[in-house]
Structure 1
């Protein structure tokens, strides 16, 4: 009987397990559902309470803004003080905002929505009456009595408004009390339900414990499995130790990198082959050694740089240490590497990992490159200075030659002598242009060229370039023709540079073409492009031509054509370089075409242009009058006696009284007795240079009205600025053209 009932009890007990679990699940689900429903309702009521608080806040803010506006307005009405209008205006601005917020927040409240129009109408009436009184007060149209009446009326309206606001607030507060009461009741229900659910859960714990007891065997089985897992983990840990040992052995064998550990006391805690290779220490010599003393230079330790590396690594996790360090014996080397801080799980510093590599050879190579770059930069500066000095020294002898030719040209000469003078003048002009080209190349190579762009007519630029080159082409016996195939076009350009480009191309055509051959400048217009219209200027000749293999080289600096060298007509090889650079700086292009040697050449320049109608220009009519040159006392100062000799005769031919001096000191002596009205002075002179002379003249009251002109071979923009800063009124570059001297004298005569 007993033996039969035992299995029955066991079966019934086993049947209780799913039943208990089912009950627990049902209770948990019910508890969760009730809790969720109560929490949702509680959150809903919390939102309504918060919503009511917001309505009250905006109602009170609305009332405060009305009070601010009414107080400020009343203060202004009573005193006329404009400072009261600041709270008045800010209050009016805030009223609309706060009322809109109240309207939005009470959209679902019928009683508030019924009261809100009255509140809004009362506020608008009060503010309208107050605004009218403020305006009249500003215009001075209110008497004191009217002001008092207006203040009283405004107070009456504000009292009515306060009553409406109070009524609105009372209803909202009543609503708040109702919602808070409902929320409190719901919260109590929530607490009660939670407690009941907890008690039910505790009641079920007994059943769960019984289930756990019955699962003891399973627990024991799980413990066995855990033991097996621990065993496998121990095996994995042992394998990791083997792996770490293999890694340590690998690191120890690395010879290109010094890889080692440093303790928190900054003493070496490990060693590898790289330490001996890079730093020169054996394992016995290195372990336990003070790292600061072992590998850092004394000056790095003295200034704190070495210690700072470990401070940074500790703070930021790592620190780079690319710097000069030392090997055993004190030999310095350039080290590149990293220092990494090592911490335990609690954040305690265990030490540092350090990796170093000897990159002395690369560092020395970099230093050599820097030194080479510095040498090249210095060479470039020396080249620039050489070109400036060369231009100055070349301009000095050109100046008296040019002035002598111009002076002789003013005399009546026979035809042969006049032709010789024309040849000399053309050659002097060519030499001056070569000097200017040299300086332009120097400025372009240093990026110092500045374009002075303006809207200019294309025809004016072309005419200026043709005029500059006409003498050379006529002297060489060539026939020039201009084919103008366009209308009135304008371009945004530096007219001097574009004229220089066209002139250079015409001069090249003349230089490399035989006598009695045509040279043509054809100007066309190219339309239908995405970027607008282009002016196309084609310079054609029937000269020596260019071999096909050399056509890609002609625009390179100092390029020389083989044919021109053989004929003895080669130049400096910079003219076409300037052409290409100036055209590209203007957003244009230049190309060359030749059918070969002896077949002539054709250079095509394209630049952006617009029609004259697209350019806003102001046309003014000027009446030119010729100013008669007055007679002045002129002092010429230059250490070149040739220049002073020619300048003296040029100026005397213009009716001037002239005296000369060969340096600044003699000029100062001459000024005491000569009392000049105009001084032409060189810059580079022994004793006292031109800058010092200019400063002396400007510091002497007796010479305050003296007209001072710098006359020098230094022609860069910075040279002109330096001359003006020193006190010169004007700056001209040698060789000085006769027309320039005439222009300066006419300006002074005015």
Structure 2
């Protein structure tokens, strides 16, 4: 720090002595002012603000001892150094009195020039050091108080010995009630409850940690650090309180937003499940009505309109299935019904079910499967694997223009986990950009469509493909050379041992051919259209049918009808299908009836239906052929 040239004030009523001292000081380069009385000493000290006052003890008005006391008592002059000079008061007790009055030095006259100059320089150095210390302290305090964070210094007993304005303000106490008080006690007093208090480091000043505390309505991060003295000893501690209320509020808002999104997602899944269920009821009536209409037409009289309605109703049923499957995946309700599966048969069934659709769009379909001698058996869910293959074929058909070509083939390769089946579905369709390839398996992602959405779809088929493949321990990938250059999907699935595994026998027993095929059927269904169409189908197949529009009537009809089969909708008003099944099982003859659960909720209630007493669980719209075969194969 730079300093101005030192100013000295020489006060002495003896002119000779005053002259001699002034001459020595000026010869040494000092600027010197003079005075002969105590009053002049006080006046000149205020006016000139000297760095050092050389003050004779014996003065005509005020003695030097009293002048010194007044100088040190006045804040304006307290920082000046005072050196007593005396030719009369030279005893030890005189020197002690002078120093006790506040003087910084005491010399007797006559004084040696070298001793005087050395003492003056020593006192000036001391004063400059004090000025530097005061300036540094002021800078430190200014900086300390300008901090936005609350900062305090603790003594070895954990009491606050210094605190900046922010710390005092956040406690809401006068500074006098903060300094000297234990930090932990101040925090407890400022907190709303004991539960919001930060850890106190176990009373250890040596700890280094960060905690969070709530003081009133504000949240603070409390940082603790020790203050180390010489040789690493801990002489105190620092506590820094940073207001983190905006961050906490943002975190709370984000948590609430996440909770709201999770709730919205849950409600969305519930809505999708309910939507699929509600769509299944009219679909069931439409599909069964179309089947009934086909069955009652003359041979060869099937119209183009009828074929369109049948095909589109089947397409709608598949979309509803996919929609419900996505909802069930998101809720973790998808479970595989594993059994030995021949992948060759899965591909064959999927291809044959769609061959006519490919022909109608004038697409070439090439199938390449290994020879029958090569095993393609794996442990999986045949229905779900067929869903994978069907969705890939539907995707290829959708995005390939008429006249194009689609290839589906299976090969067997050796992978890191052993033998694996590699299914490839390749088309000459519109292809994909790199951006689309990176996202094609995400939910609701589709290639660019025209405004008429002529290709249709919901953008969920490939998402289901990936999730179902992953459930089977496999993986799926896609490759395209670019837009307009076709696409290829590759599915890899782990295979079992290289031997033919016998397929499990069907659960439903085969009827004795000699037994009559006519059955007594109880149909409990609240949807009027579905109920009437199913009744007509059942009667057309030669069965005796009684219908009930709710569970109460169904239970009431059972004793008189004593049906072979009861087809019961699960979503009945008043008494649901589970309750109906339990009531029937509890009644006389209830153990002999074959109970079939009809539901629009896919496989979600399968376990619950089994526990209620159902023998079979069928999803709407029930395929008429499957229902007819079921009734034919049941024992009499």
- Describe how 1:140-289 pairs up with structure 2 within 5 A: 249=141, 252-253=144-145, 255-260=147-152, 268-276=160-168, 278-287=170-179
1:541: Cα distance to partner? 4.3
Q: Distance in 2 between matches of 1:470 and 1:689?
A: 41
- Describe how 1:531-610 pairs up with structure 2 within 5 A: 535-543=421-429, 550=436, 552-562=438-448, 565=451, 568-585=454-471, 586-593=473-480, 596-597=483-484, 601-608=486-493
C-alpha root-mean-square deviation of aligned residues, in Å? Answer: 4.4
Residue-by-residue CA offset, 1:421-444 (whole Å, 9 max, x unaligned):
333222222111111211232344
For the 8 Å contact 1:325–1:333, the answer to whether it is kept is yes
Q: Distance in 2 between matches of 1:655 and 1:315?
A: 92
Please state whether the residue corresponding to 1:693 is helix, strand or coil: helix
Q: Distance in 2 between matches of 1:534 and 1:565?
A: 42
Aligned partner of 2:543 in structure 1 is: 656
Which is helix-richer, 1 or 2?
1
1:418: Cα distance to partner? 5.1
Which is strand-richer, 1 or 2?
2
Residue-by-residue CA offset, 1:85-108 (whole Å, 9 max, x unaligned):
xxxxxxxxxxxxxxxxxxxxxxxx
For the 8 Å contact 1:266–1:290, the answer to whether it is kept is yes
Q: Distance in 2 between matches of 1:386 and 1:427?
A: 24
2:615 paired with 1:729: yes
Q: For residues 671 and 343 of structure 1, do their structure 2 counterparts lie closer, same or farther at Cα, with a shift above 3 Å needed?
A: farther
2:250 paired with 1:360: no
Aligned partner of 1:191 in structure 2 is: none
For the 8 Å contact 2:155–2:161, the answer to whether it is kept is yes
Give the total of aligned pairs: 498
Please state whether the residue corresponding to 2:456 is helix, strand or coil: coil
Aligned partner of 1:173 in structure 2 is: none
Aligned partner of 1:379 in structure 2 is: 264
Q: For residues 621 and 699 of structure 1, do their structure 2 counterparts lie closer, same or farther at Cα, with a shift above 3 Å needed?
A: closer
For the 8 Å contact 1:275–1:281, the answer to whether it is kept is no
For the 8 Å contact 1:395–1:735, the answer to whether it is kept is yes
Residue-by-residue CA offset, 1:60-101 (whole Å, 9 max, x unaligned):
xxxxxxxxxxxxxxxxxxxxxxxxxxxxxxxxxxxxxxxxxx
Please state whether the residue corresponding to 2:163 is helix, strand or coil: coil
Q: For residues 297 and 605 of structure 1, do their structure 2 counterparts lie closer, same or farther at Cα, with a shift above 3 Å needed?
A: farther
Q: Distance in 2 between matches of 1:399 and 1:295?
A: 69
Please state whether the residue corresponding to 2:459 is helix, strand or coil: coil
1:715: Cα distance to partner? 1.0
For the 8 Å contact 1:256–1:278, the answer to whether it is kept is no
Match of 1:325 among 212, 215, 221: 215
Unaligned runs of 5+ in 1: 1-237, 327-331
Alignment TM-score, normalising by the size of structure 2: 0.66
For the 8 Å contact 1:627–1:746, the answer to whether it is kept is no
Q: For residues 498 and 366 of structure 1, do their structure 2 counterparts lie closer, same or farther at Cα, with a shift above 3 Å needed?
A: same
Q: Distance in 2 between matches of 1:419 and 1:284?
A: 97
Please state whether the residue corresponding to 2:397 is helix, strand or coil: helix
Please state whether the residue corresponding to 2:455 is helix, strand or coil: coil
Aligned partner of 2:527 in structure 1 is: 640
Residue-by-residue CA offset, 1:359-416 (whole Å, 9 max, x unaligned):
1011001001100110111111011101101110111101011112222333342534
For the 8 Å contact 1:309–1:319, the answer to whether it is kept is no
For the 8 Å contact 1:312–1:319, the answer to whether it is kept is no
For the 8 Å contact 1:472–1:507, the answer to whether it is kept is no
Aligned partner of 2:555 in structure 1 is: 668
Residue-by-residue CA offset, 1:267-295 (whole Å, 9 max, x unaligned):
75542233135434452353356867754
Please state whether the residue corresponding to 1:439 is helix, strand or coil: helix
Aligned partner of 2:34 in structure 1 is: none
For the 8 Å contact 1:258–1:279, the answer to whether it is kept is no
2:631 paired with 1:745: yes
Q: Distance in 2 between matches of 1:533 and 1:485?
A: 14
- Describe how 1:260-659 pairs up with structure 2 within 5 A: 260=152, 268-276=160-168, 278-287=170-179, 295-296=187-188, 301=193, 306=197, 309-310=199-200, 312-313=202-203, 321-326=211-216, 332-338=217-223, 354-417=239-302, 419-452=304-337, 455-476=340-361, 478-484=363-369, 488-490=374-376, 492=378, 494=380, 495-513=382-400, 517=403, 519-523=405-409, 525=411, 527=413, 535-543=421-429, 550=436, 552-562=438-448, 565=451, 568-585=454-471, 586-593=473-480, 596-597=483-484, 601-608=486-493, 614-615=498-499, 617=501, 627-628=512-513, 630-659=517-546
For the 8 Å contact 2:156–2:235, the answer to whether it is kept is yes
Please state whether the residue corresponding to 1:614 is helix, strand or coil: coil
For the 8 Å contact 1:483–1:520, the answer to whether it is kept is no
Q: For residues 732 and 304 of structure 1, do their structure 2 counterparts lie closer, same or farther at Cα, with a shift above 3 Å needed?
A: closer
- Describe how 1:103-122 pairs up with structure 2 within 5 A: none
Residue-by-residue CA offset, 1:509-528 (whole Å, 9 max, x unaligned):
3334455x364434253657
For the 8 Å contact 2:151–2:163, the answer to whether it is kept is yes
Q: For residues 483 and 315 of structure 1, do their structure 2 counterparts lie closer, same or farther at Cα, with a shift above 3 Å needed?
A: same
Aligned partner of 2:54 in structure 1 is: none
